[in-house]
Amino acid sequence: MLDGVVAAIVVLLVGAGVLIILGPRNVVRRIASLRRPNKIAALFEPRRPREVMPSALNPKTQRVLVAAARLATWMRGHGHEEVAREIRNAAARMTGNEPAGLYALQTTLRRIRVVNISDSPSQERLKALVAELRIAVQDRFEQLELLPFRRP
């Protein structure tokens, strides 16, 4: 019996200590936040889709990334996994170190020249995608002034 009384007093003292530490305003806020949300349907609404590219990127950089994504997707769809992976890695490198990513894309573009597709329309699509990416990379190189200066 005495043990029960001592235990009850200890529990009350610990509870009072916690209430004093939290303060009366914080306790009221925490209790108020435990209420049920009025709109349970809001929990089941789909989330807003994420942006594909951050808006802080330069428009020409975005153009390079979009062209790289198109080419990588096409290459992966036609069984060239390794080249597609290199393109994606180079494009991902651009977000952290843009010049290094551009140089990596340029190196990968040189490697794509040796890829031959037996299907004529597929070969034309590959050439169009490679040309689109090459032009976008060269434009960004010129904008960043990374190309070596040529003397006439």
Could you tell me the sign of the dihedral formed by the alpha carbons of 68, 75, 87, 139, in that order? negative
Quick: pLDDT tens for 86-132. 999 998 888 888 888 888 888 888 877 656 667 778 888 888 888 89
pLDDT at 150 over 70: no
Say what the pLDDT of residue 14 is: 93
Quick: pLDDT tens for 64-78. 899 999 999 988 888
The full set of domain ranges for the chain reads: 2-44, 59-144
Phi, psi dihedrals of residue 5, rounded to the nearest 5°: -65, -45
